[in-house]
Chain A
Amino acid sequence: MTKRIFRTIFIVAVGVFLASALLFMTVLYDYFSTVGQNQLRAQIDLAAQGVTNEGIEYFDGLEAHNYRITWIGKDGSVLYDSVSNANDMENHFEREEVKEALAKGYGESFRYSATLTERYLYSAKRLPDGTVIRLSIAQNSMLVLTFGMLQPIIIIFAMAIILSAFLASRLSKKIVKPLNELNLDEPLENDGYDELSPLLRRIDTQQQQIRQQKEELNHKQSEFEAVTSGMAEGIILLNPKGTILSINRAASKLFGTDSFVVGEDILSVNRSLALTELLQKAEEGKHAEAVMTFDSGKYQLAASPVTANDEVIGIVVLILDVTEKEKAEQMRREFTANVSHELKTPLHTISGYAELLSNGMVKQEDITAFSKRIYTEAGRMICLVEDIIKLSHLDEGAEDMKQENTDLFVLADHVVTTLMPEAKKTGVAIELHGESAVLCGIPQLLESIVYNLCDNAIKYNRKNGSVSVTVKNEEASVVLSVVDTGIGIPEEHKERIFERFYRVDKSHSKEIGGTGLGLSIVKHAARLHQAEIELQSVVGKGTAVTVKFPKKS
């Protein structure tokens, strides 16, 4: 700014100076030339008079200091010269002023010296006798004049530079000062230059726009955060270099960090190779998924690249809790394996014996035994299929079954009576205690609850063990408890024994029999009655199952 102002001022100053100098010099030079010429004319008239009157003697007393006087004869030969010897001088007939004087009576001309430093003004007059008197004076030429003025010119230039620099710095400071003092936060409050008001107005509107956009952005950001922080799934936004741009609450909780990791590298949060590989794939523009195990369970991580113009500009990582899903998946797989196994075993037996029979390879006396085996196995299968049907019926909600007031004690009594022979066979004493307890429920299902519990209590008992069935009324519920002195259930299996086909001891299931569905049916039937099941068991000592049915009002 200062530099430009300086340059402008300097150029103007120098320009004005040069122009005025040129003007003065030409005008003055012209003026002085004219003055010189007029003087010359006056002098020559005097000299002509003198020569005419006195002849050659005129020159004797003449003292010519600042001019040169020459007397030229008719033929152009020099008769007298005030500077040089007349005899040494050449013929002057051809000189312009002489020629002119001879022709017109008076002539003038000017010539420059060989070095151009001087200018000679000549003036000639014809005398009555036909000779010519010539006067000449020397003037400094313009060049010499200019040269002589060089020093003051340089001084003036230097002064111009100093002055313009000073003025320029002052001026620019003065111009810039109000600009620097502009309050850009309140553009319209300024009273600097009027010329600036369009700019200030523009700034004002733009500032308003920026403020608005910022607010919108903040709003959107908080909206996004509100949405993502409430999510159970974890979300992490990364730039392609792996720097965290955003991480929601679920994700930071999972990785054991806080929201301050925004701006840091994902590696500093989790450096597992699975995640690194996942992000690498996403960085290459591919969608990638992986299941990772954290302390709190299994999580599925899906990384997808965010692209714009075929370029990856970010990565979104979505984290889903798949612990339950994996568990359910495993249960489903186990169920399928179990159900096929349970169905296959009796079928193999049946088909094997039936094949032997049909080939006629069985002795007559064995046929009965073989048929009996086929019969039992078929019976087992029927039991199994019935149980499965019952279970799926319960799954559906058993809506076609009617609820009615039932006395649980009577039901239990019936079951105990039915199971008595079985118990006697295995050497287990079974007894029923308690009182009549009426509740509203589905009799068939209640019976299967009691039956299955008692059946298990007898089956998984030891020799000379006992089973005690109790039915009693409580304030708001009817409680059924089946306590045995059997083998007990190890801690790690307690949670799973109500699963379909789950068996604690898989290797001996065949000997003990049963379908593996009993407790599952109990669980579902109890759920239909909103009953709670409580299981207490000590390995080697026995098991106590308590079912609490709520009394319906």
Chain B
Amino acid sequence: MRSKFDEQLELLHKELIQMGALCEDAIAMAAKALAEGNTMLADKVPDLSAEIDQKERDIEAMCMKLLLQQQPVAKDLRVISSALKMVTDMERIGDNSGDIADIVTMANITASDNTVHIQDMARATIKMVTDSIDAFVKKDTELANAVIAYDDVVDECFDEIKTDLIKQFGAPESNGEKVLDLLMIAKYFERMADHAAEIAKWVLFSITGNKVG
């Protein structure tokens, strides 16, 4: 009975890693589509996002089943409950990637509109998502703490972009729609970074039992 439980926990771990990998792909693809103004690539992101949604439901069902059938305690309970919370954050990352891709699909933004700041922000966010999944995979508390700290970098990027965009808005020949789209994209990246930090916090919780923030 116990060994079956262990197997199920192992499977849960694997599924979570796979879901994390899907999220990484989704955000990387959205960022690439944005950088290249590639609407074809952007069209593919919603599929990935849907796949992530499906994975979320699967993992949720799995966690519920484990909670009901095995009545886990202590660390097992922490692992399962943090898994339940993590999938929500991962799913949001998938959704936000889809949202960015949607904006790219509308073709208001071309490759040339990508300021250095947006590129930096995309890179920083991808790094955070990748690192948070890595922290989960390797059960690395140090890395998880680093991810949480890195959130400030992304927030800074967001502020810089906002200042940039305000300047652009003031310019006489500005394209209002484009500026708003870029602002939305920046906001989505900022949200994803928050979710990544949240994942890192849950990783910490599942290892140490202390929830930060």
**Residues 74-109 of chain A, each 1 if its beta carbon lies under 8 Å from chain B, else 0:** 000000000000000000000000000000000000
Q: Which residues of B contact A183 (CB under 8 A)?
A: none
Query: Are B137 and A268 within 8 A (Cβ)?
Result: yes
Which residues of B lie under 8 Å from residue A273 when comparing CB positions?
Answer: 21-22, 25
Flag whether A417 is at the interface (Cβ < 8 A): no
Cα of A217 to Cα of B17 in the assembled complex, Å: 35
Is the CB–CB distance between A271 and B21 below 8 Å? Answer: yes
| B21-A272 in contact (CB<8A) | yes
Which residues on A sit within 8 Å (CB–CB) of B133? 271
B137, A276: Cβ atoms closer than 8 Å: no
Distance to closest chain B CB from A10 (angstroms) = 40
Considering the chains assembled together, what is the distance between the CA atoms of A273 and B48 in angstroms? 11
With a CB–CB cut-off of 8 A, which chain A residues contact B25? 273
A265 to B7, CA, bound (A): 13
- Give residues 136-190 of B contacting A (CB, 8 Å): 137-138
Q: Are A267 and B18 in contact (CB under 8 A)?
A: yes
* Residue B14 interfacial (CB < 8 Å): yes
CB distance from B17 to the nearest CB of A (A): 4
Q: State A273–B137 Cα separation when bound (angstroms).
A: 15
B138's partner among A242, A268, A272, A276 (CB-CB below 8 A) is A268
Return the chain A residue nearest B24 by Cβ. A271
Interface readout for B111-145 with A: 1 if CB under 8 Å, 0 if not? 00000000000000000000001000110000000
Q: How far is the CB of A205 from chain B (nearest CB, A)?
A: 35
Given the complex of chains A and B, what is the CA–CA distance between A420 and B11 in angstroms? 79
In the complex, the answer to whether A267 meets B22 with C-beta atoms within 8 Å is no
CB distance from B59 to the nearest CB of A (A): 14
B37 within 8 Å of A (CB atoms): no
How far, in whole Å, are A273 and B18 apart by their CA atoms in the complex? 8
Distance (whole angstroms) from the CB of B18 to the closest CB of chain A: 6
Any chain A CB within 8 A of the CB of B20?
Answer: yes
Q: Which chain B residue lies CB-closest to A276?
A: B18
Q: How close is B76's CB to chain A, nearest CB, in angstroms?
A: 18
Number of chain B residues close to chain A: CB under 8 A: 13
Most buried by B among A268, A272, A276: A268
B1-30 residues at the A interface, CB under 8 angstroms: 10, 13-14, 17-18, 20-22, 24-25
Of chain A, the residue at the smallest CB distance from B15 is A267
Q: Which residues of chain A from 296 to 335 have a CB within 8 Å of any chain B CB?
A: none
Nearest chain B CB to A252 CB, angstrom units: 15
> How far apart are the CA atoms of A276 and B21 in the complex, in Å?
10
Complex Cα distance, B19 from A267, in Å, reads: 11
Measured CB to CB, the nearest residue on chain B to A267 is: B17
CA distance A267 to B10 in the complex (A): 11
Inter-subunit contact B18/A271 (CB<8 Å)? yes
A242: chain B residues at CB < 8 Å are 14
Q: Mark A230-248, 1 if CB is under 8 A from B, else 0.
A: 0000000000001000000
Question: In the assembled complex, which residues on chain B have CB atoms less than 8 Å from the CB atom of A268?
Answer: 17, 137-138
With a CB–CB cut-off of 8 A, which chain A residues contact B137? Answer: 267-268, 271
Closest residue of B by beta carbon distance from A269 = B137
A336 to nearest B CB, angstroms?
Answer: 27
Residues 261-293 of A contacting B (Cβ, < 8 Å):
265, 267-268, 271-273, 276
CB distance from B77 to the nearest CB of A (A): 22
User: Complex formed: what's the CA distance from A272 to B22 in Å?
Assistant: 8
- Chain B neighbourhood of A272, CB < 8 A: 21
Interface centre among B13, B14, B25 (most CB of A within 10 A): B14
The distance in angstroms between the C-alpha atoms of A242 and B10, with both chains bound, is 12
A271: which B residues are within 8 A, CB to CB?
Answer: 17-18, 20-21, 24, 133, 137
Closest to B139 in A: A268
Contact between chains at A265 and B22 (CB < 8 Å): no
Write the chain B residue with the least CB distance to A275: B21
A268 to B17, CA, bound (A): 8
Question: In the complex, which residue of chain B has the Cβ closest to the Cβ of A270?
Answer: B21
In the complex formed, the residue of A with least CB distance to B22 is: A273
- Cα separation A267 to B133 with both chains bound (whole Å): 11
Q: Once the chains are docked, how many angstroms separate the CA of A265 from the CA of B21? A: 14
Q: Mark A207-250, 1 if CB is under 8 A from B, else 0.
A: 00000000000000000000000000000000000100000000
Bound: A6/B50 CA distance, A: 71
Instruction: Kindly report which residue of chain A lies nearest to residue B25, judged by CB atoms.
Output: A273
Q: How far is the CA of A267 from the CA of B20 in the complex (A)?
A: 11
State in angstroms the CA–CA spacing of A268 and B21 once bound together.
11
- Residue among B20, B21, B133, B138 facing the most chain A CB atoms (10 A cut-off): B21
For A267, the chain B residues whose CB sits under 8 A away are 14, 17-18, 21, 137
Residues of B within 8 A of A276 (CB): 18, 21
- Complex: A427 Cα to B94 Cα, angstroms: 63
- Bound Cα distance from A271 to B25, whole angstroms: 10
Q: Which residues of B contact A (CB under 8 A)?
A: 10, 13-14, 17-18, 20-22, 24-25, 133, 137-138
Q: Chain A: residues with CB nearer than 8 A to chain B? A: 242, 265, 267-268, 271-273, 276
Given A267-B137, A276-B21, 10 other A-B contacts at CB below 8 A?
Answer: A265-B13, A265-B17, A267-B17, A267-B18, A267-B21, A271-B18, A271-B20, A271-B137, A272-B21, A273-B21
25 contacts between A and B (CB under 8 A): A242-B14, A265-B10, A265-B13, A265-B17, A267-B14, A267-B17, A267-B18, A267-B21, A267-B137, A268-B17, A268-B137, A268-B138, A271-B17, A271-B18, A271-B20, A271-B21, A271-B24, A271-B133, A271-B137, A272-B21, A273-B21, A273-B22, A273-B25, A276-B18, A276-B21
Question: Lowest 8 A-B CB distances belong to which pairs?
Answer: A271-B21, A267-B17, A268-B137, A271-B17, A267-B14, A273-B21, A273-B25, A265-B14
